């Protein structure tokens, strides 16, 4: 049985996007579309990208994600997303910072192999996050 490469679902008040294996343009676009749909349907403004089983993508896909983040930011208007990216290693962490970092560290964090820490960061109010040491 073939394992799904993309899984995007709301879990409580967080939208979880799990990406596995080799990333393609089509998969990245589908992930973005499904995350946006769920943000609009649920009103949830917290997103966890689980990239623990992702193979490091080519830089072209990283730059595409950067472009998609800019478009997502513009299309959501007043909704400001809080995004955590769960990564297995420094290479994917570095690429994640390129892809998601253009709106500042207060809107995203990269977490190494610690789902609990990523969820804690997503669930904390903005005022607590600034003082908690759970930033990038």
Residue 18's nearest CA partner among 99, 87, 67 is: 87
Q: Report pLDDT digits (tens) over 72-120.
A: 888 887 788 899 999 999 999 999 999 998 777 778 999 999 999 999 9
Q: Please state the pTM of the whole predicted model.
A: 0.87
Asked if pLDDT for residue 56 goes beyond 70, the answer is yes
How many Cβ atoms are within 10 Å of 2's Cβ, its own excluded?
4
In the predicted model, what is the mean pLDDT of residues 20-47? 94
Query: For the chain, what percent of residues have pLDDT higher than 90?
Result: 72
Model pLDDT, residue 102: 75
How far apart, in whole angstroms, are the C-alpha atoms of residue 92 and residue 14?
Answer: 22
Q: Which residue ranges form the domains of the chain, and what is each CATH number?
A: 6-132 (3.30.750.24)
Model pLDDT, residue 130: 47
How far apart, in whole angstroms, are the C-alpha atoms of residue 25 and residue 54?
Answer: 14
């Amino acid at each position: 049985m073939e394992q799904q490469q993309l899984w995007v679902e709301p879990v409580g008040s967080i939208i979880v996007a799990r990406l596995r294996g080799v990333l393609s343009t089509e998969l990245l676009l589908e992930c973005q579309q499904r995350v946006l749909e769920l943000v609009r349907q649920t009103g949830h403004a917290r997103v966890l990208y689980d990239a623990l089983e992702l193979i490091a993508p080519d830089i072209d896909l990283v730059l595409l994600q950067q472009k998609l983040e800019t478009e997502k930011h513009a299309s959501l208007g007043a909704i400001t997303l809080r995004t955590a990216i769960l990564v297995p290693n420094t290479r994917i962490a570095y690429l994640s910072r390129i892809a998601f970092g253009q709106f500042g560290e207060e809107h995203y964090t990269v977490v190494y192999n610690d789902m609990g820490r990523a969820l804690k960061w997503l669930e904390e109010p903005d005022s607590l996050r600034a003082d908690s040491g759970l930033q990038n």
